[in-house]
Amino acid sequence: MKFYVRLTAFLAENITMIFAYQHFVYYLLLLSLGSCTYVSADAETTPQAQRVTVVTGLIRPWSMAFLSEEEVLVTEKEGSLKRVNLATGTQQVIKGFPKDLDNTPQHDPRDNAGLFDVVLDPDYANSAWVYIAYSASEPGGSTTKVIRGQLRKDSLTNVQALLVAEPFSPDRFHYGGGMVFGTDNKLYVTVGERYFREIEQPSLPIAQDVQDRRGMIYRLNPDGSLPDDNPDWGSDAVPGAYAIGIRAAQGITCHPESGQIWFSEHGSRQGDEINILQAGANYGWPLQTTGQYRDSAYIPPPIGDRVLTDPVWSWDETVAPTGLTFYTGSEFPAWQGSLFVAGLSGGSLRRLTVEGEQVKAAEKLFADDPIRLRQVIQSPGGKLYLLTDEIEGRILRIDPAP
């Protein structure tokens, strides 16, 4: 009994010193993390990681689809569709691409024209169908186009156009071009509204006009036909429209457990967002934004009877989010279930802690050595890869640090 009385007295007298010691040890643990900079509350449980260069010599790579753990298809924003071997670094240009591809080198940092997403058919092993989004040109300008073709050795064959987001315009911004197959085996496609300045918007903003093919997300059958259960926007609406109010969504991915589709969205000045796709939803651009308008004098027009869907996450800084993916690998157990988001602004890779439909925390990785990133993607074997937005673009792999 006397022992417990003395122990209680000791704790009461020294409790401040004990807590100070705990915080000192915690501080030493944070310093030991080294390779990455973490800002979330669970930083002490986050494993160390390093980026390893796997392939070099790509021309602003945009997207990657895994044919196997070692072999991938890569789209180059200002180059070609290529088959790349991750083990040897060899690159082979795929022939047979349509001649209307507009992939001229960018003349403006905001220029988005070129090759965008590439995804495989859910039954690729039997069908050989490959889906590609890109900027297609004609004398009046360019627009977002989606095709599919069957990959036979080093060539695309039986190429079919599935979506052309007319009108063709001289603006070379915000094409979108993100694609993903949902668990329903439907193809979801993002198309941007193509304007850089809000002041250029017509009286009915592009992304709020269901008769305009821009500024929306589409849902298509694999052959380009329309699912019977798509939202009904009225008899004059664009065929295939699934959601509207989109400014510049590029990244889109499917949650591995819930099957929900998440997508990234570029704001104008700040206002970068993460959204969950819902049938018939209006994501608000330009009627509302979590950031600011590029033109301070711009006032959105009053439009009644519009129910607007809020993002599940937004940043108070410019991230310029691009590709994103959920992590289910085994190398980093503390990261399982996290949403990884690649960013152009500041060269950032973000990890979002997700619970259900909520983002609980966010952190920036490799903040001490930023690289502009276009895509983050997971291989069939559970490894994370990054695509750098550089003229001499690279494929990087995230490995445990030694």
User: DSSP 3-state assignment of 125?
Assistant: helix
**Token pair of 235, please?**
């008899």
**Token pair of 2, please?**
């006397």
* DSSP conformation class of 27: H
Count of residues making up the chain: 402
> CA-to-CA distance for 138 and 72, rounded, in angstroms?
30
Which residue is it, tokens 């602004």? 345
Catalytic hit among 107, 174, 255, 266:
174
**Token pair of 52, please?**
């390893």
Which residue is it, tokens 């072999």? 71
* DSSP conformation class of 161: E
**174 is annotated as an active-site residue:** yes
CB 121 within 8 A of CB 129: yes
List the strands of the sheet with 321-326, edge to edge: 321-326, 339-343, 349-355, 358-365
CB 175 within 8 A of CB 143: yes
Q: What are phi and psi of 217, to 5 degrees?
A: -115, 135
CB atoms within 10 A of CB 46: 18
Q: Report the phi/psi class of residue 233: left, alpha or beta, with left for phi > 0 and alpha for psi in -120 to 50.
A: alpha
> CA-to-CA distance for 164 and 184, rounded, in angstroms?
23
End-to-end CA distance of the chain: 50
**Between the CA of residue 309 and those of 275, 306, 360, what are the distances in Å?**
9, 10, 19
Q: Which residues are catalytic?
A: 174
